[in-house]
Structures are given as C-alpha cells and as structure tokens.
C-alpha cells in the first residue's frame, strides 16, 4: 500500500508520513470547463494532477485528491461561464474549500503544502483561501505552516515556448483549449482528445476591458480561444517534462 496519492493510503500509513511535518503535500486544483469540441472538460484537473504525481515521485511528496471544480470561467481566458458544460463555484466557495482543506492538513501535522493550479481563474481565490487558513492557524498557535501557490504553465521556459510555438506565441490567456492543453492531453490522455474535431481559428481578440453580462458573441463558436491544430503528443511530452522538472527543482528549495 505505497502510493503518492493520499487517498490510496490507509490512515496509519498516511499519519506516519505526515505527522512530523516534513513531507510536502501537493494539492491540484482545476475546473470543470469546456475546452472546445475536440477535448474533454477536465484538462484543468488532469494536467496539474499528472504533474503533481511526477513531482511527488521526484521530491518524496504526497498528492492530495484534486479539487475538481473552480472559479467561474472568464470570457478572455476560458471562453466564459455561459458555455454549456462549464460548471463553476462562487469565489467564496473556492476560497473556503482551500481554507478548510489546508486546515485539515495542518491538523494532521502537515506543515508544507504546494497548490498546483490548472485553471487561471482560480488564482486569487486560492490566495484568499491560503490567507484565511494561515490567519486562522495563527489564532490556533500554528505559525510554521507554509504554502506555495503555483500555476503549471509558469514553468514553461522561454526555450520551450520558442520550440512549441515557432510561428509566434499567442500568450497564455488565449491558450484556452489551444496548443498547450491539447498537446499535454494528447500525451497523457489521448483517448480524451479527438483531433478531427479541432477547429482551426486565429487567436481570439478582445477589447482591453471585461464586460458583464458576458457578450456570447465575443467567444469563438468552438469555445477555444486559439487553434489546437498545431498540438501534438510530442509537444505534450516536452511540456510535461519541462513543467515537472521546473516545479520539482523549485519545490526542493522553496520551503527551506
Ligand atoms: Zn484549461
């Protein structure tokens, strides 16, 4: 019964691994969000989880069950929350979920947690959850609990970007359902991608402001914000390696 996944351990095995506070716990957080007609709705969960598994093996960490829902899809980064299938939480719920889970880990003895984010819109609600957890833990006298918050795409190096996007990098915001996520899914979960349904389209363009309520006509019909056509499993393998390597090496020193 030896696994990097907390949910696959018995409580005494888990207790033994975390009670002393030295083991890092990786918590993936994603979303249930449409990712175009060519892909399943769970890449924001599967991709950070796959990376967390590999990082955990590299650095002797554990992986918590991922949080499978996230904050509302925003039009200029995820197509918008009006899209069918996209199923989101209020910001308060995201922050409270993070806070509750972190406080439970702290009760078990865990003192080092890394949140591995796969859904851009979660970012500040993760920070809020972490802040609330640290504040309440301080009230309980726990002052040595520390948290790393990261989004996996921030570990894609400039060299890799040049290799993956030889025709020019459109920017992470319009990468929703595009080359990054589709390539990683082709490498890790090919049965969840159907490239014959990938739509060839130019990167979406938006005005320099957000508008509410959402104007559905701003979002390309596919729900993708750029073309997934140049995606490939080989690009996915490269992206996975560079992210896992980058996250592993940063986490080796982050908690010192
Ligand atoms: Zn995504």
Q: What is the CA radius of gyration of the chain?
A: 19
119: annotated active-site residue: yes
Closest C-alpha among 106, 74, 111, 66 to residue 91? 74
Whether 146 shows a pLDDT value over 70: the answer reads: yes
Q: Could you give the 3-state DSSP secondary structure of residue 26?
A: strand
Whether 35 is catalytic: yes
Between the CA of 78 and the centroid of ligand 1 the distance, in Å, is 7
Is there a catalytic annotation at residue 181? yes
Whole-number average pLDDT of the chain: 97
CA–centroid distance, residue 253 to ligand 1 (Å): 28
DSSP letter at 177?
Answer: T
How much is the pLDDT for 70?
A: 98
pLDDT digits (tens, 9 = 90+) for 218-238: 999 999 999 999 999 999 999
Question: pLDDT digits over 156-213, tens only?
Answer: 999 999 999 999 999 998 999 999 999 999 999 999 999 999 999 999 999 999 999 9
Extended strands (E) in the chain: 24-29, 62-63, 70-71, 88-89, 112-117, 146-151
Q: What would the pLDDT profile of 75-121 be if each residue is shown by its tens digit? A: 999 999 999 999 999 999 999 999 999 999 999 999 999 999 999 99
Phi, psi (5° rounding) for residue 82? -85, -10
- Is the pLDDT assigned to residue 1 strictly greater than 80? no
Q: Kindly name the residue from 53, 121, 175, 187 that is annotated as catalytic.
A: 121
Q: What separation in Å is there between the alpha carbon of 61 and the centre of ligand 1?
A: 25
pLDDT at 31 over 90: yes
Q: Distance between CA atoms of 42 and 185, rounded to whole angstroms? A: 10
As a whole-number percent, the residues of the chain with pLDDT over 90 amount to 97
Q: Is 38 part of the annotated catalytic residue set?
A: no
CA of 251 to the centre of ligand 1 (A): 23
Residue 229 is predicted with a pLDDT of 95
Distance 6 CA to ligand 1 centre (A): 25
- The reply to whether 176 belongs to the active site is yes
- pLDDT of 155 higher than 60: yes
Both tokens of 18, joined, read: 């975390």
Predicted local distance difference test score (pLDDT) of residue 116:
98
């Amino acid at each position: 019964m030896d696994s990097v996944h907390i949910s696959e351990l018995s409580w005494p095995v888990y207790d033994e691994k975390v009670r002393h506070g030295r083991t890092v716990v990786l918590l993936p957080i994603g979303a249930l969000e449409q990712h175009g007609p060519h892909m399943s709705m769970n890449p924001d969960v599967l991709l950070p989880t796959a990376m967390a598994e590999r990082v955990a093996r590299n650095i002797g960490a554990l992986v918590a069950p991922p949080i499978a829902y996230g904050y509302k899809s925003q039009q200029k980064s995820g197509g918008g929350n009006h899209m069918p299938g996209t199923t989101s939480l209020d910001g308060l719920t995201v922050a409270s979920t993070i806070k509750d889970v972190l406080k439970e880990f702290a009760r078990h003895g865990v003192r080092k947690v890394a949140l591995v984010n796969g859904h851009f819109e979660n970012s500040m609600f993760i920070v809020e959850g972490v802040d609330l957890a640290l504040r309440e833990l301080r009230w309980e006298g726990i002052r040595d609990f520390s948290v790393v918050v990261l989004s996996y795409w921030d570990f894609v190096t400039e060299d890799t970007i040049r290799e993956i996007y030889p025709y020019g990098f459109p920017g992470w915001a319009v990468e929703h359902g595009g080359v990054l996520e589709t390539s990683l899914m082709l490498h890790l979960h090919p049965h969840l991608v159907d490239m014959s349904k990938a739509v060839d389209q130019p990167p979406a363009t938006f005005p320099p402001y957000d508008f509410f309520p959402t104007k559905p006509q701003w979002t390309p019909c596919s729900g993708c914000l750029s073309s997934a056509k140049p995606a490939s499993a080989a690009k996915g393998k490269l992206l996975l390696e560079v992210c896992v390597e980058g996250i592993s090496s940063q986490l080796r020193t982050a908690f010192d």
